[in-house]
Amino acid sequence: MATRSRCSLRSAVARLVLERPADVRLLEKGLSVGEALAAFNAAHERAGAIASFLGKVRPGEDVKALELTHYEPLTLPGMEALAEQALERFALDGVLAWHRVGTMQPGEGIVLVAAAARHRRAAFDAVDFLMDHLKSAAWFWKRERRGNHSDGGWHWIEPRDDDHAALARWTGDET
Amino acid sequence: MATRSRCSLRSAVARLVLERPADVRLLEKGLSVGEALAAFNAAHERAGAIASFLGKVRPGEDVKALELTHYEPLTLPGMEALAEQALERFALDGVLAWHRVGTMQPGEGIVLVAAAARHRRAAFDAVDFLMDHLKSAAWFWKRERRGNHSDGGWHWIEPRDDDHAALARWTGDET
Amino acid sequence: MAVKIVFLGPLRDAAGTDSLEVPAPLDWEGLLAAVAPDLAEQLESARVHVACAGEVLADKTALEARDGDEVALLPPVSGG
Amino acid sequence: MAVKIVFLGPLRDAAGTDSLEVPAPLDWEGLLAAVAPDLAEQLESARVHVACAGEVLADKTALEARDGDEVALLPPVSGG
């Protein structure tokens, strides 16, 4: 993909400047899915297929807040390298990968990934690939605040075994 | 899914009223992906995962316009039945399936599908399932206008064999 | 003049018209006789489906359209 | 005071601090000796990775941190 040049495009719809072919961000504040996808759509006007995934803080089980910490020297370079991998692996026009850090409330977006491609399968597979790798390899640690102030507290979220299973889906054809 | 009640929710963000759990539309005019997904996101605030797919008219090969015709007594009931199938098949909070009809320019959206679920895999699989079935079974016929007015004309787009292959992926566990 | 035959997609071009009205009742043989020979040939292909009164027929040769029914001739949908 | 050890995620709670400064150079044995025994035990687990100067080490026991390097102790990332 050496012929791809990096440039940015101002979207008339969303007034958001996106980097192309990869727009990778760590956000300290709210993530507006409508604005982001309108801008991504406008930035990739010639792509026939745009797939996206939004992950949100799930309410329930007494969760009051989610805090996401990361290790800055690894996180953004890691996400950028992953975006480059997706661009090389799939026939894409572009990708977007945004991740929140800091403290979030239930219902807020944590992660937004989108891929623009000529064909649906490439766009879909790229989003799937990015999500599998972001969650398992991007060095984010999450803890939840549960219960009331008096008796509640912060609890770390343990790693999940099925993230490893998800990653294993991609390693077969990487050799 | 008999306990699911149909209701609608006004989104403060997008001022769009969506039907829940399934919002199915045939649109004669433009399809605003940012507005639609902002409203869908707001309508399913408690869902942890939202996947979406946008299909657009691809430019190139001298295509000036795309016309999509359908058979009204079958199309909307077909799309609604398909949305219900997705709701029964996957663990979803809701789905959105919007399809354009009429004449479109390159770059315009043709189809937008979204699924909200507790978990990513269900949201992803539902969007994939809806797209595979919409394209192959929803009774849309497309033709393109190519070239200049003087020497150009409308050309029907033939069925594609790999749509049948895509459908075959889902039939194995339907028995 | 009580059954309406509707031509869709490329079949509309082949028929040269959107629709055609024929007397009820209309069965499969009647349908084949009501359209031009080249259209009848296309109808016999397994890829063309027939809907009657808003339902796609599992076996189109079992067509039994009654007064007021609309019979739609559905060529394969487009890919892309 | 020339190598900074950074504790991340749950390891920060276990260490009771964000970071620790130790003299350079720092190797694997030096790292294990610089932290509390229960942390050293966790570090020896295959699930905890070590980054040095912005690179995750393929073999953490080959750590060779020099003056000015930051050594990050990375517990497994959270699922969900």
Question: What amino acid occupies position A152?
Answer: G
CB C25 within 8 A of CB C53: no
* Neighbouring chains to D with at least 3 Cβ pairs closer than 8 Å: A
Least confident stretch, A34-43, A150-159, B21-30, B62-71? A150-159
Place of tokens 């995934």: A53
Q: Quickly state the pLDDT bin for A148 (edges 50, 70, 90).
A: confident
Q: What per-residue confidence (pLDDT) applies to B44?
A: 94
Report d(CA D13, CA D5) in Å as an integer: 14
Report d(CA A45, CA B107) in Å as an integer: 5
Report d(CA D1, CA A13) in Å as an integer: 52
Fold classification of D2-74 (topology level) = Ubiquitin-like (UB roll) (3.10.20)
Strands C70-74 vs C49-52: parallel, antiparallel or unpaired: antiparallel
Strands D3-7 vs D70-74: parallel, antiparallel or unpaired: parallel
Q: Quickly state the pLDDT bin for B138 (edges 50, 70, 90).
A: confident
Q: Looking at per-residue confidence, does D43 or A8 come out higher? A: D43
Q: Do D8 and A138 touch (CB under 8 A)?
A: no
Q: Quickly state the pLDDT bin for D41 (edges 50, 70, 90).
A: very high
Least confident stretch, A153-167, B127-141, D24-38? A153-167
Report d(CA B155, CA B159) in Å as an integer: 13
* pLDDT 10s digits, A34-43: 999 999 999 9
Question: How many domains are there within chain A?
Answer: 1
Report d(CA D33, CA D39) in Å as an integer: 10
Domain-embedded: residue B87:
yes
Domain-embedded: residue B57:
yes
Domain-embedded: residue A3:
no
ipTM summary value: 0.84
pTM reported for the whole predicted model: 0.85
- Run of H or E including B153: strand B153-156
Question: For residue B71, is pLDDT > 70?
Answer: yes
Q: Do D78 and A141 touch (CB under 8 A)?
A: yes
Tokens coding B129: 């399932």
Q: What per-residue confidence (pLDDT) applies to A30?
A: 85
Mean local confidence (pLDDT), A16-25: 92
Sheet holding A102-104, edge to edge: A102-104, A63-70, A140-146, A153-156
- In sequence order, the 6+-apart residues with CB closer than 8 A to the CB of B112 are B31, B33, B36, B37, B52, B53, B54, B55, B96, B97, B98
Within 8 A of B166 by CB-CB distance, chain C residues are: none
In 3D space, the residue among B142, B144, B149 whose CA is nearest the CA of residue B65 turns out to be: B144
| Cα dihedral: B156, B159, B160, B165 (round 10) | 160
Nearest to B120 among A33, A46, A131 (CB): A131
Q: How many CA atoms lie within 13 A of A73 on its CB side?
A: 15
The CATH code of the domain that includes A85 is: 3.90.1170.40
Q: Looking at per-residue confidence, does A51 or A11 come out higher? A: A51
* pLDDT 10s digits, A102-119: 999 999 999 999 999 999
Question: What amino acid occupies position A27?
Answer: L
Q: Looking at per-residue confidence, does B126 or A172 come out higher? A: B126
Question: What amino acid occupies position B41?
Answer: N
Q: What per-residue confidence (pLDDT) applies to D70?
A: 97
Torsions phi, psi for D53 (to 5 deg): 55, 40
CB A66 within 8 A of CB A139: no
Tokens coding A158: 């343990």
Q: Do D51 and A156 touch (CB under 8 A)?
A: no
* pLDDT 10s digits, B23-58: 999 999 988 999 999 999 999 988 999 999 999 998
Nearest CA-CA distance, residue A76 and chain D, Å: 11
Q: Do C80 and B74 touch (CB under 8 A)?
A: no
Q: What per-residue confidence (pLDDT) applies to A150?
A: 62
- In sequence order, the 6+-apart residues with CB closer than 8 A to the CB of A2 are none
Mean local confidence (pLDDT), D2-20: 94
Within 8 A of A141 by CB-CB distance, chain D residues are: 8-10, 75, 77-78
* pLDDT 10s digits, C32-63: 999 999 999 999 988 899 999 999 999 999 99
Domain-embedded: residue B175:
no
CB A74 within 8 A of CB A141: no
Please tell me whether the peptide bond between C25 and the residue prior to it is cis, using omega within 30 degrees of 0: yes
Nearest CA-CA distance, residue B55 and chain C, Å: 10
Largest CA distance in chain D: 38
Domain-embedded: residue A10:
no
Nearest to A71 among D10, D13, D74 (CB): D74
* Neighbouring chains to B with at least 3 Cβ pairs closer than 8 Å: A, C
Mean local confidence (pLDDT), A70-91: 94
The domain of A108 spans: 22-168
Question: What amino acid occupies position A163?
Answer: D
Q: What per-residue confidence (pLDDT) applies to B128?
A: 96
Tokens coding A30: 């709210």
Long-range (24+ apart) CB contacts under 8 A made by A13-17 are A13/A38, A13/A39, A13/A41, A13/A42, A13/B34, A14/A38, A14/A39, A14/A42, A14/B34
Buried b (16+ CB within 10 A) or exposed e, A31-60: bbbbbbbbbbbbbbeebbbbbbbbbbbbee
Within 8 A of A157 by CB-CB distance, chain D residues are: 78-80
Q: B residues 104-143 near A, CB within 8 Å?
A: 106-107, 109, 118, 120, 123-124, 127-128, 131
Within 8 A of A134 by CB-CB distance, chain D residues are: none
Q: Do A50 and B46 touch (CB under 8 A)?
A: no
Q: Is D47 strand, coil or helix? A: coil
Nearest to A55 among B38, B48, B57 (CB): B48
Q: What per-residue confidence (pLDDT) applies to B97?
A: 97
Torsions phi, psi for A5 (to 5 deg): -100, 145
Domain-embedded: residue A145:
yes
CB A97 within 8 A of CB A145: no
> What are B63's strand-pairing partners?
B146
Q: Do A53 and B57 touch (CB under 8 A)?
A: no
Q: CA of A152: how far to CAs of A149, B46, B47, C39, D17, in Å?
A: 5, 22, 24, 74, 22
CB A38 within 8 A of CB A17: no
DSSP for D6-40, written as a single string: EE-THHHHHHTSSEEEEPSPEEHHHHHHHS-HHHH
Domain-embedded: residue B66:
yes
Question: For residue D24, is pLDDT > 90?
Answer: yes
Strands B17-20 vs B7-10: parallel, antiparallel or unpaired: antiparallel
The whole-chain average pLDDT of chain A stands at: 84
* pLDDT 10s digits, C4-34: 999 999 999 999 999 999 999 999 999 999 9
Q: Can you give the length of chain C in residues?
A: 80
Q: Is B61 on the interface with A (CB under 8 A)?
A: no
Nearest to B157 among C8, C47, C80 (CB): C80
Mean local confidence (pLDDT), B75-90: 95
Q: Do B159 and C77 touch (CB under 8 A)?
A: yes
Find, in chain B, the residue whose alpha carbon is nearest to that of C54.
B73
Q: Is C23 strand, coil or helix? A: coil
Q: CA of B70: how far to CAs of C18, C73, C79, in Å?
A: 13, 12, 14
Least confident stretch, A171-175, B26-30, B117-121? A171-175
Find, in chain C, the residue whose alpha carbon is nearest to that of B74.
C54
